[in-house]
Structure 1
Amino acid sequence: MDKYSELVAFLHSARSRSFSAAARNLDLTPSAVSKLVARLETRLGVRLFVRQGRTVALTEEGQSYLPSAEMVVEAMANADAHGEALGEALHGKVRVHTMLTFARHQIVPWLPAFLKSYPGLSVEFHIAPQYEDAFDKGVDVAIHSGALPSSSRVARKIAASRWIVCASPEYLARHGRPQTPADLQQHTCVGFSFVSEWNVWPFRAEDGTTYGVRPASVVDTTQGEIARDLALDGFGIVRLAEFHIGQDLRAGRLMPVLEAYQDPAKEPLYLVYPGRKHLSPRVKVFCDYLTERLAAQSWAQ
């Protein structure tokens, strides 16, 4: 009897609250998942789920059993990870969920050297502007900034970045510099088209308190890279992370504005893992390589 398959089917069903969704993640049929869960319930002598049409919900017994099942499956994953490390070379694909801006400006520059050092590895990017839990879809690690939703995942801070209000010299020559945050309402600004704290620009008052301004944006986008391109073309004022536009600021392609009101707080960047213990060696070496590169960046301190 394959007790491990029963546990995996149980965990995926508990997380997705659906046998059908669990089946898609496991590449099984819904009936196969249902049978595995039913077999587990028979073996334990308790009902773990309440079936509610197309969805399922954990019973009190199922909620009590969930932590133990997670520990067993995690232990099996750790055993597999240690086994993977027994080979002389690292092999496999590292699936990374992150923002386009971070991938392009903080991973791609060193990625060729990394893959040359570890020729048995490959990297697959899953790009999204905000964090989402995609570990059940095969993602190995997520790299995102800002507030993360509460979950059982493990998040480790690896850096912190300021967000800078800026524009191109061409834009400022044509339209002048805003002197106070309130002046932004008379300027062309670019924002994000999804619900996010990034659409409220924080500024520091003379008494040291922080307050937010929501500029009336002319263009909204899901990707910070589009906002950067518009700013570089002289279109308007943006507020973007220093890890994204640091080189543009140093080269003078973008210039900070409202510096007297700059919010001193930095936004943290996190590595998010699915479990609490050992990472697969292929994932660990990628994360270690990334952490070393970030440690050398002045903006990340």
Structure 2
Amino acid sequence: MNKIHPEIHLVQTSAPSRPAIPPLTALLAFERAAAQLSFRRAARDLSLSPSAISHQIRGLEAQFGVKLFVRGARTVRLTADGERYFAKVSVALAALQDASRDLLRQRRDIGSELWISALPFFTSTVLIPALPDFRRRHPELTLRIEATHQYADFNASRVDVAVRYGREHSTGLKFEPLVAVKGLPVCAPALVKAGLRSPEDLSRQVLIHITTQPRAWPAWLKEAGLPHLEPRGHLWLDSVPAMLEAAEHGLGVTLAMAPLIKARPGFGKKLVAPFAFEPAHSETIFLVSRTEQARDRRIAAVRRWIAEAVGRVKA
């Protein structure tokens, strides 16, 4: 008996063609460089190096086989191909950004959580002591607080409100001044007892710095009329709480943020201000939120709470 073997037909299909869509990182680099006509400014906007921006753009040019920029000694300009591509890429990226914002807005509108990004010292000194008051007034809301020195990315993260220095990356954001702060030298009482009486006496002390603000002490000394003062040594730390703890242990003199430092437990006992001199220069701490959330009742509630907490510290 003959066995019947089923017929098997092999049909070879061509693989789907690869979409001609470059990596998003390359498109972002191109869009920023085209908008700014500067690889350096594009690198600043994206927190990259100029060489990284140039590498991404060369990758685009290699993929498409066209030149997108004419590079000069210190300038760049778009080619005709670059101008046409920029017109379409900028629209596409704006659409992606709008879609992402809509999703985030939907999550925020239906959620009971609010995300706050704040400076670590501001968090420990102002926000945490005021949390019981917020819970009492708004039991239906849950706060998630991130204590960080990094700028909050309102486009790519869940942050609803930020507390930070300066107005960098301000497109689409609302900035409200919270408090003006000045650098105030503080130290352990033992250093004062040992003879620390005037700014000139800092030449016999160790200056405690925060790594993110290397110009803080030089600026203060310049205002005090001592731009060439050489201290006994330097101690560098990566956070304000660490600096203050080092000062409390008598390791040197650090700059605290006045008037916020007055709210730190132990100020006046563990830490004292040895000088009467107060610099004229100040920095502003801002409350930052999205412009389109100006009427969001939850954001308004957090805004009022933070402003009142700052007011209690300043009083």
So what's the TM-score if we normalise by structure 1?
Answer: 0.64
Partner in structure 2 of residue 17 of structure 1:
28
One-letter code of the match for 2:164? H
Judge conservation of contact 1:171–1:235 (CA < 8 Å) in 2. no
**DSSP-derived class of the 1:226 partner:** helix
Q: Does 1:235 align with 2:254?
A: no
Instruction: Quote the residue 1:169 is aligned against.
Output: 189
Cα distance in 2 for partners of 1:116, 1:80 equals 26
Matched, 1:256 2:266: no
Amino acid at match of 1:109: P
Q: State yes or no: 1:189 paired with 2:207.
A: yes
Given the alignment of the two structures, is residue 101 of structure 1 paired with residue 117 of structure 2, yes or no? no
% same residue: 14
Task: Give the Cα–Cα distance (whole angstroms) in 2 for the partners of residues 149 and 214 of structure 1.
Answer: 33
Which protein is bigger by CA-based radius of gyration?
Answer: 2
Q: Secondary structure at the match of 1:137?
A: coil
Quote the offset at 1:105 in angstroms.
0.7
* Equivalent-residue separation in structure 2 for 1:15 and 1:244 (angstroms): 43
Contact 2:204 2:231 in 1 (8 A): no
Q: Which amino acid aligns with 2:137?
A: S
Number of residue equivalences: 245
Letter in structure 1 aligned against 2:122: F
Q: Partner letter of residue 184 of structure 1?
A: L
CA–CA separation in structure 1 for the residues paired with 2:209 and 2:196:
18
**Cα distance between partner residues in 2 of 1:110 and 1:231:** 25
Deviation track 1:14-44 (CA, whole Å, cap 9, x = no partner) reads 89928xxxxxxxxxxxxxxxxxxxxxxxxxx
CA contact (8 A) 1:199 1:214 kept: no
CA-CA distance at 1:284 after TM superposition: 2.3
Q: Distance in 1 between matches of 2:159 and 2:108?
A: 19
Paired residue for 2:142?
122
Q: Which amino acid aligns with 2:218?
A: V
Deviation digits for residues 129-160 of structure 1 (CA, Å, limit 9, x no counterpart): 24343541211111013x34243133221221
Cα distance change, pair 222–213 in 1 and its aligned pair in 2 (3 A) = farther
Superposition pairs for residues 273-284 of structure 1, below 5 Å?
A: 273-278=289-294, 280-284=296-300
Give the equivalent residue in structure 2 for 1:43.
none
5+ residue gaps, structure 1 = 1-12, 19-48, 85-90
1:141 aligns with: 161
Distance 1:71 1:291 in 2: 31
